[in-house]
Copies of this chain bind each other. A is one copy, B any other.
Amino acid sequence: MKNILVAGGCGFIGSHLCDHLLQRSDVGLCVVVDNLWTGRKENLAHVQDPRLKIVVTDVEAFQSDVLFDEVYHLASPASPPWYMTEPKRTISANLLGAMRLLHLLKPGGQFAFTSTSEVYGDPLVSPQPESYRGSVDCTGPRSSYDESKRCTESLLFEMRRTEKLNVRVVRLFNVYGPRTRPDDGRAVSNFITQALAGKPITIYGDGMQSRSWGYVDDIVEGLARFFWRDQHGYDGPLNVGNEREIPVIEVARHIAQLVPGTTLVHRDPVPQDPTNRRPDLTIARKVLPGWECRIPYELGVQLNLEWFKDHLKAGGPDQQDVRVA
C-alpha cells in the first residue's frame, strides 16, 4: 500500500485530485498538507475515508516521520489578486515547498508538480508547445507566480538530470469549476458571483484577451491519467488544457444571458494581463491518447453557476470574504 502526500490538497484542484486518489485501492494513506491560505477544509468535508489525514501547516514547514511513495505539489495560490498581494509567500510556497517535499519523498518515489501556462507569460506564439520558452517579465507584477513556477520546474528537471528524480510536471491552462473560492478573483468565478449578486460583470480592458478554459473534471481526469493511471514513460512538462480559445468577453456575455438582467462594465486593463493563451496538445495526444477536454465552456459555466448558487445560498464565511479583483 502506498503513502501519498498532497500539498495544497484543500485547494480547488487539489481537493478534486484527492477525490481521484482515494478511488485507488493501492493507497493506504493520503496526507494532505495545507495552510488554508487559499484552500478550504470544506473542499474535503465530504470525504469520509479514514485514509485521509489533513495537516494544517505551511508546506515549507511540514514535518513527517513517514516518507511518501508519491508526492503531489499543488501548494500555491493561483489567482493574481492573491499572489500579487503576497509575492514572497507565493515564491516560498512553490519553491521552498518543493525543496521541503523532496525531503519527504521515498527513494525512487514519484514527484508531481502542477505548473502553469503562465510559464509562457504573454506568449508570442500560438498555440504554445511545451518547447516554447515563454515571454515572462521577471520584474513584473505577475512574476512571483510565473517565475516561481518556472524555477520550481527547473529544480525538478535538474534533479531528474542529475539525480534521476522521477518527475511529472503539468502546465495547466485556466481551470475553472466547482470549489473555486467565491473570492478567487479569476474571470469565470468573478463573473458568476457578480451576476448572482445582481452586480455588473467587470471586464478588464476590452475583454478580447483570450483564454483556454478547462473544466476541472476534464483537467483532473488528465492529471490522474498522466500522474498514475497510464503507462506512458513521458517525463517532460505536459500541457493540460482545453485547446478551444475563447475571448474573456464571450464568457461574460454567456453568463449574462444565463442570469437575466446582468450588465457588463469595462475597467482599465490589468497590468501585463496576457493577451492570449492556448495549449498545443500535440504531446498530450501522444501521451494520453483519447484524452481531451469534453465539457464545452457553455456547459461548464452552467454547471459552475449551479454550484455557486447552492454554495452561496448556504452562506458561511465566504460570502463576507468576496473581494473585488
Interface set of A (CB-CB < 8 Å, partner B): 84-88, 91-92, 95-96, 99, 119, 121, 133-141, 143-144, 146-148, 150-151, 153-155, 157-159, 161-162, 169, 236-237
Contact = CB atoms under 8 A, between A and B. Distances in A.
Contacts of A96: 96, 99
Among A87, A144, A154, A169, the most chain B Cβ lie within 10 Å of the Cβ of A154
Contacts of A158: 87-88, 141, 143-144
Among A136, A139, A148, A150, the most chain B Cβ lie within 10 Å of the Cβ of A139
A150 B153 contact: no
Contacts of A159: 87-88
A136 B236 CA distance: 16
A151 B162 contact: no
Given A134-B136, A140-B157, 20 more contacts: A87-B155, A87-B158, A87-B161, A88-B99, A91-B95, A92-B99, A95-B95, A96-B96, A96-B99, A133-B138, A138-B151, A138-B153, A138-B157, A144-B154, A144-B155, A147-B147, A147-B150, A147-B151, A150-B151, A151-B151
B134 A138 contact: yes
Contact of A143 (B92, B135, B146, B157): B157
Given A134-B138, A138-B119, A88 B155 contact: yes
25 contacts: A85-B162, A86-B162, A87-B154, A87-B158, A87-B161, A87-B162, A88-B155, A91-B151, A91-B154, A96-B96, A119-B138, A121-B133, A133-B136, A139-B154, A139-B157, A139-B169, A139-B237, A143-B153, A143-B157, A147-B150, A147-B151, A148-B151, A150-B150, A150-B151, A151-B151
Nearest to A148: B151
